[in-house]
A and B are shown apart, each in its own frame.
Chain A
Amino acid sequence: MSIAISSLTPSTIAETSAAKVVSLPMQGRLSLRARDGLDKLGAALGLSLPQKIGQCARADGIEAVCLGPDEWTLLLPLDQVATVTEALAALMPELPHALTDISGREVTFRIEGTRAAELLTIGCARDLSGVAPGEARRTLFDVATVVLWHDGENAFRMDVWNSFAPFIAQTLEVGCKELAAEAA
């Protein structure tokens, strides 16, 4: 299948009685790496960086998830990327850290509907009941490493690298139809 998916042109991937999958518009996305000085980094960002892997923190316009012992992904409006980059750069060299712009790297799917959680079980081997609403995890979905955000009951987001997105979208689309047919 040759569906093109781009964060420049958000679209509906699938919509059935079971779940709806849409791709979201491009947003600012930064990878932050640091071992120490999390307080200062957090202060510069205006939030408290979560320290347990999978936990998230939110402040106005910015959302942070801890993905590794020294790794966070920050989501923010595109026009805030430069501001945040400058704010953190000011902490160098006293506070060693790394900030890398990955805003163009990924596509985000929003997955919601009565059977959204079940839809994810077609490609995710881990027990998703262990990911509480408000948390996120990096994991494997089908053939791709993804970051899965559990936003609320029956609502998820999935960040996928661009080149894997069409394949993952196809899996999700087939799954949406299959689950809907099952209920019928």
Chain B
Amino acid sequence: MLLIHCPYCDETLPELEFTYAGEAHIDRPENPSEQSDAEWESFLFLRENVKGPHFERWRHFHGCGRYFNAVRNTITDKFYITYKAGEARPDLSALLEDEK
């Protein structure tokens, strides 16, 4: 069971308090009706499913209730960083550099 740092509570807590919420940084288009079928398909269904560092969403469901973003390595399950919803996507190469 993972320990996850909630960027809102600023506490590192058991995974049991959290729920997973899929890939991060997929914005619902401003005006969906203007989307082509292919664009809408991509928004709805197509995901990266990366092996390695993955931008993903979690929710502190049993705590503050907030959705937030994380970069987690899907091989090792290691979290590189968690950050608040709406914050810019962190620079992955810098994160990986920090690890070394």
Direct touching of A and B (C-beta under 8 Å): yes
Contact B14 A138 (CB under 8 A): no
How many angstroms from the CA of A162 to the CA of B14 in the assembled complex? 25
Report whether A140 and B8 are in contact in the complex, using a CB–CB cutoff of 8 Å.
Answer: no
- Asked whether A53 lies within 8 Å of B64 as measured between CB atoms, the reply is yes
B9 near A53: Cβ-Cβ < 8 Å: yes
A119-150 at interface with B (beta carbon < 8 Å):
125-126, 130, 137-140, 145
Q: A125-B16, A126-B17 are in contact. Are A137 and B63 (CB under 8 A)?
A: yes
A: number of interface residues (CB 8 Å):
14
The secondary-structure label for the interface of chain A is: strand
Q: Which of A35-43, A64-72, A163-171 contacts the other chain?
A: A64-72
In the assembled complex, A54 has its CB within 8 A of some CB on chain B? yes
Contact flags B46-75 to A (C-beta < 8 A → 1, else 0):
000000000000000111111000000000
Q: Which residues of B contact A54 (CB under 8 A)?
A: 9, 11
Given contacts A53-B8, A54-B9, contact A68 B64 (CB under 8 A): yes
Contact indicator B62/A139 (Cβ below 8 Å): yes
Cβ of B13 < 8 Å from any Cβ of A? yes
Given the known inter-chain contacts A71-B64, A71-B65, A140-B62, please indicate yes or no for A125 contacting B8, CB distance below 8 A.
no
Is A69 a contact partner of B66 (Cβ separation < 8 A)?
A: yes
- Whether A139 and B9, one on each chain, are in contact in the complex, defined by CB atoms closer than 8 angstroms, is no
Q: Which 6 A-B pairs have the closest CB atoms?
A: A68-B64, A125-B14, A140-B62, A53-B9, A145-B62, A125-B16
Jot down 15 A-B pairs with beta carbons below 8 A, ordered by A: A53-B10, A54-B9, A68-B64, A68-B66, A69-B64, A71-B64, A71-B65, A125-B16, A125-B17, A130-B11, A138-B62, A138-B65, A139-B13, A139-B17, A145-B61
Residue numbers of B with Cβ under 8 A of A are 1, 8-11, 13-14, 16-17, 61-66
